[in-house]
């Protein structure tokens, strides 16, 4: 038998899936309740029950108790005794948040969250029908003899189509001690089909000789269900060694299991519904069954990605060597090289897809952030999500949580108006924040849109001037005023609250997104709302870039920041000040930044560079980067400079070219912003 401590990581990994299933089911309950569909409630109940069972196996008593109170309320809801109204759902959603925190605390060996006791009380009150006196009244209970055979039990409904199974459940004392209830397991069985349950009391000792360490009770179930056997076994996943479970497939649905002494019989059937439950096809017959999956340590995937990166570099080196040797005309060598190149590209794409994960987990966390921010501000806010199955590199997903948290809180605190103001403006009392994601042009676009009051630009400008962020009377376009929100230290809150007022917020968003190689922009319409747009690369391992020559060096410029390239032949360059230069392009004066001068490279023979590359940064500023020549566009493997050397101003990373040389990857965002600070007059001219 495996040491139980070695099973803990697997339990908490399983909890992640169960918590995600629970959150998804809770989100579907209100809509399904209108159709009197209880399937989402059943899904949430099973997830919570599985967490409770696993927690009991590892002796996590507080987690067991909380999950037990949670599933008690869910049991009342699926039985029709508790409506899925706003108050009940609000409590259940907050209880799911606390349950997630308790799982995380148990995994990390920390104390239970402080709000656990309060939510436990709310769940108990909800189970009792609402707030009231929590002291149990004295009903003058007297024990009486109960004859199970005297009850007139209902006849089972007609058996549905499907296979027959005999299920035997023999609990140990540990099953009861860890908070499991055989009745809950039997009810879960009944949800899969029509079940006839018999309690075998033959092993139960007389009361005078009863040993609590040896319960002796046995439950035998005959069930007819269209589900596969593994669906039945899944109900007992976390029971483990706490019970002896045997599942036997019957040759015929009406075949009787092996004979047992005559005992009381109890028929369990699923809760009645207006519409019949549509059974899922069995695993054998399912045409679109879920693919089998395995869990792999992330370090192994990272090592594989690094090796694939080296393979791409070696392929480029081989291509360079063949070209240098003049063997390009050899059809066999050329064909083989193209085959290797295609194979390397396919392997790289496949390996990158291993790390790709849907944004669903992040979006679910944002639902909790929205609820907490709405409670803190006293506003009614609903989060609507779209495109949650959009896949992104796992590293990108992990680092998206903080920026999106800031943006959601900002939308609730600053964007959505108070209820009274919304009603006065003719809007619904409930504000709506839409969080969406999609793939566009090889990038991931994430949008956070609210239907609030929009940005008060006059107020933003006034605050920026008061705090010395801009010069009084500076000429700024509406877009530039909106981008003041991203400046460090900017805050429109005069009082410090739980959500804002400390001058830390959207500047963190911009820095984090830029560190991911992405861009963030903002658009706002007064009275209609504000939209934040994040554009991110699909992965942090490779980059689509343009190879350029600067002096005697080769550099890489990210394609995502390039607007267009300009030749110097038909352009007129204007001098501004002692060293500043600008060009006129489509009615706009754009400053020129000489890359060789910025990085201290040895200049070529000509004073003027041969090509200008027009780039745009998140703030809307544009600049023309002067380079000597453009080689080609290619995908390069990103190598971190900070990990291997150190931070270099204006450089985001490096790569290895096919000839073995190292090429630096330019950070145009930092270059443009730094140039604007060093030469404000140049920036002002560029802005018109």
* pLDDT tens figures, 154-182: 454 444 566 788 999 888 887 877 767 78
The confidence score (pLDDT) of residue 307 equals 79
Q: What angle do CA 518, 558, 649 make, to 5 degrees?
A: 80
Q: What angle do CA 534, 537, 542 make, to 5 degrees?
A: 160
The answer, yes or no, to whether residue 211 has pLDDT greater than 50, is yes
The answer, yes or no, to whether residue 575 has pLDDT greater than 50, is yes
**How far apart, in whole angstroms, are the C-alpha atoms of residue 480 and residue 291?**
49
Cβ contact 244:203 at 8 Å: no
The phi, psi pair for 583, rounded to 5°, reads: -125, 155
Split at pLDDT 50, 70, 90, the class of 263 is very low
DSSP state of 639: B
The confidence score (pLDDT) of residue 257 equals 54
Q: Which tokens sit at 413?
A: 């605190």
Q: Mean pLDDT over all residues of the chain?
A: 77
Split at pLDDT 50, 70, 90, the class of 502 is very low
Least confident span in 288-302, 432-446, 492-506, 661-675: 492-506
Choose between 684 and 208: higher pLDDT. 208
Average pLDDT over residues 257-269: 46
Choose between 274 and 253: higher pLDDT. 253
Q: Which residues contact 480 (CB under 8 A, 6 or more apart)?
A: 619, 620, 687
Split at pLDDT 50, 70, 90, the class of 271 is very low
The confidence score (pLDDT) of residue 270 equals 46
Is 575 in a helix, a strand, or coil?
strand
Cβ contact 401:407 at 8 Å: no
The confidence score (pLDDT) of residue 448 equals 93
Average pLDDT over residues 336-347: 78
The confidence score (pLDDT) of residue 608 equals 58
The confidence score (pLDDT) of residue 391 equals 84
Average pLDDT over residues 571-592: 78
The phi, psi pair for 229, rounded to 5°, reads: -65, -35
Query: Tokens 């018109």 label which residue?
Result: 688
Least confident span in 154-168, 397-411, 568-582, 639-653: 154-168
The answer, yes or no, to whether residue 651 has pLDDT greater than 50, is yes
The confidence score (pLDDT) of residue 262 equals 44
Average pLDDT over residues 632-641: 78
The answer, yes or no, to whether residue 480 has pLDDT greater than 70, is yes
Which own/partner contact pairs does 334-342 have at CB distance under 8 Å and 24+ positions apart? 340/315, 341/315
Split at pLDDT 50, 70, 90, the class of 292 is low
**How far apart, in whole angstroms, are the C-alpha atoms of residue 541 and residue 560?**
15
The confidence score (pLDDT) of residue 435 equals 93
Q: Which residues contact 445 (CB under 8 A, 6 or more apart)?
A: 437, 438, 439, 533, 534, 535, 536
pTM above 0.75, yes or no: no
Q: Which of 443-452, 498-507, 667-676 has the highest mean pLDDT?
A: 443-452
Choose between 490 and 153: higher pLDDT. 490
Q: Which of 118-127, 271-280, 444-453, 509-518 has the highest mean pLDDT?
A: 444-453
The confidence score (pLDDT) of residue 588 equals 79
Query: Tokens 């002896």 label which residue?
Result: 244
The answer, yes or no, to whether residue 288 has pLDDT greater than 70, is no
Task: Indicate if the alpha-carbon torsion angle 18, 19, 24, 30 is positive or negative.
Answer: positive
């Amino acid at each position: 038998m495996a040491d139980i401590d070695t099973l803990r990581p697997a339990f908490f990994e399983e909890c992640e899936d169960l918590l995600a299933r629970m959150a998804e089911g809770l989100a579907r309950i209100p809509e399904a309740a209108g159709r009197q569909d209880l399937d989402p409630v059943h899904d949430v109940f099973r997830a919570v029950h599985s967490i409770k069972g696993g927690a009991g196996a590892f002796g996590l008593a507080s987690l067991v108790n909380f999950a037990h109170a949670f599933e008690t309320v869910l049991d009342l809801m699926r039985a029709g005794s508790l409506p899925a109204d706003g108050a009940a759902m609000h409590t259940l959603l907050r209880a799911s948040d606390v349950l997630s925190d308790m799982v995380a605390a148990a995994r990390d060996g920390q104390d239970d969250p402080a709000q656990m006791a309060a939510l436990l009380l709310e769940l108990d009150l909800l189970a009792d029908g609402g707030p009231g006196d929590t002291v149990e009244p004295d009903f003058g209970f007297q024990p009486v003899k109960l004859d199970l055979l005297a009850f007139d039990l209902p006849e089972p409904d007609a058996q549905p189509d499907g296979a027959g199974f005999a299920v035997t459940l023999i609990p140990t004392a540990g099953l009861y001690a860890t908070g499991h209830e055989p009745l809950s397991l039997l009810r879960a069985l009944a949800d899969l089909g029509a079940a006839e349950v018999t309690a075998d009391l033959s092993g139960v000792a007389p009361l005078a000789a009863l040993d609590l360490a040896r319960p002796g009770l046995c439950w035998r179930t005959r069930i007819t269900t269209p589900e596969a056997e593994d669906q039945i076994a899944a109900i007992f996943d976390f029971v483990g060694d706490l019970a002896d479970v045997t599942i036997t497939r019957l040759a015929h649905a009406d075949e009787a299991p092996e004979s047992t002494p005559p005992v009381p019989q109890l028929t369990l059937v699923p809760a009645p519904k207006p519409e019949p439950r549509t059974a899922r096809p069995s695993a054998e017959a399912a045409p679109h069954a879920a693919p089998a999956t395995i869990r792999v340590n992330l370090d192994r995937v990272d090592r594989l990605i690094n090796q694939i990166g080296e393979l791409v570099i070696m392929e480029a080196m081989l291509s360079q060597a063949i070209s240098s040797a003049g063997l390009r005309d050899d059809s066999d060598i050329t064909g083989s090289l193209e085959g290797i190149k295609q194979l390397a590209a396919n392997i790289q794409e496949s390996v990158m897809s291993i790390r790709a994960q849907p944004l669903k987990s992040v979006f679910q966390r944002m639902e909790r952030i929205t609820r907490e921010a709405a409670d803190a501000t006293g506003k009614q806010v609903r989060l609507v999500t779209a495109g949650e199955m959009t896949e992104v590199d796992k590293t990108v997903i992990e680092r998206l949580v903080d920026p999106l948290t800031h943006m959601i809180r900002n939308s609730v605190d600053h964007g959505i108006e108070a209820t009274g103001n919304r009603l006065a403006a003719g809007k619904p009392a409930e504000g709506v924040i839409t969080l969406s994601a999609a793939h566009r042009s090889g990038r991931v676009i994430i949008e956070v849109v609210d239907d609030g009051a929009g940005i008060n630009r006059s107020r933003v400008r006034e605050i920026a001037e008061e705090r010395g962020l801009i010069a009084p009377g500076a000429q700024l376009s509406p877009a530039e005023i909106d981008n003041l929100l991203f400046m460090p230290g900017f805050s429109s809150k005069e009082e410090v609250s739980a959500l804002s007022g400390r001058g830390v917020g959207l500047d963190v968003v911009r820095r984090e997104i830029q560190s991911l190689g992405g861009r963030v922009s903002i658009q706002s319409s007064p009275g209609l709302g504000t939209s934040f747009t994040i554009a991110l690369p699909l992965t942090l391992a490779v980059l689509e870039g343009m190879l350029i020559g600067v002096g005697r060096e080769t550099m890489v410029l990210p394609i995502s920041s390039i607007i267009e390239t300009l030749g110097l032949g038909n352009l007129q360059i204007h001098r501004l000040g002692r060293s500043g230069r600008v060009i006129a392009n489509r009615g706009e004066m754009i400053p020129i930044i000489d890359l060789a001068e910025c990085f201290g490279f040895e200049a070529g023979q000509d004073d003027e560079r041969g090509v200008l590359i027009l780039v745009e940064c998140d703030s809307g500023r544009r600049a023309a980067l002067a380079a000597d020549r453009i080689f080609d566009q290619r995908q390069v493997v990103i190598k971190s400079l900070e990990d291997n050397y150190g931070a270099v101003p204006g450089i985001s990373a490096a790569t290895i070219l096919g000839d073995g040389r190292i090429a630096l990857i330019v950070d145009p965002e930092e270059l443009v912003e730094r140039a604007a600070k060093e030469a404000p007059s140049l920036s002002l001219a560029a802005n018109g």
